[in-house]
Amino acid sequence: MRMTKYKLYYFNLRARAEVARQLFALAGEPFEDIRVEFEDWFNTIKPMGDMPFDALPVLEVDGHKIAQSITIARFLARQFGFAGKSVYEQAVVDSIADQYSDFFPHVRPFLRTLLGFENHDLDTLLIEKVRPARDEFFGQMVKMLQASESGFLVGQTVTYADLLLAEHVSTFKQYDPHYVRDWPEIQDHWAKVRAIPNLSKWINDRPETIY
Ligand SMILES: N[C@@H](CCC(=O)N[C@@H](CS)C(=O)NCC(=O)O)C(=O)O
2 — pLDDT class (breaks 50, 70, 90) = confident
Q: Is 84 in the pocket of ligand 1 (CB under 6 A)?
A: no
Compute φ and ψ for 33, nearest 5 degrees.
-95, 85
Q: Hey, what domains does the chain have and what are their CATH numbers?
A: 6-80+198-205 (3.40.30.10), 87-195 (1.20.1050.10)
pLDDT in tens, 121-167: 999 999 999 999 999 999 999 999 999 999 999 999 999 999 999 99
- For the chain, state the CA radius of gyration: 17
Judge whether 163 and 19 are in contact, CB under 8 Å. Answer: yes
pLDDT in tens, 40-73: 999 999 999 999 999 999 999 999 999 999 999 9
pLDDT in tens, 76-121: 999 999 999 999 999 999 999 999 999 999 999 999 999 999 999 9
Pocket test for ligand 1, best of 56, 117, 171 (most atoms within 8 A of CB): 56
Residue with the smallest CA separation from ligand 1 atom 14 is 55
Distance of alpha carbon 3 from alpha carbon 51, whole angstroms: 24
Pocket test for ligand 1, best of 69, 108, 111, 211 (most atoms within 8 A of CB): 69
Q: Is 46 in the pocket of ligand 1 (CB under 6 A)?
A: yes
Residue with the smallest CA separation from ligand 1 atom 2 is 68
User: Per the omega criterion (within 30 degrees of 0), is the bond before 197 cis?
Assistant: no
Q: Is 56 in the pocket of ligand 1 (CB under 6 A)?
A: yes
pLDDT at 1 over 90: no
Q: How many CA atoms lie within 13 A of 18 on its CB side?
A: 24
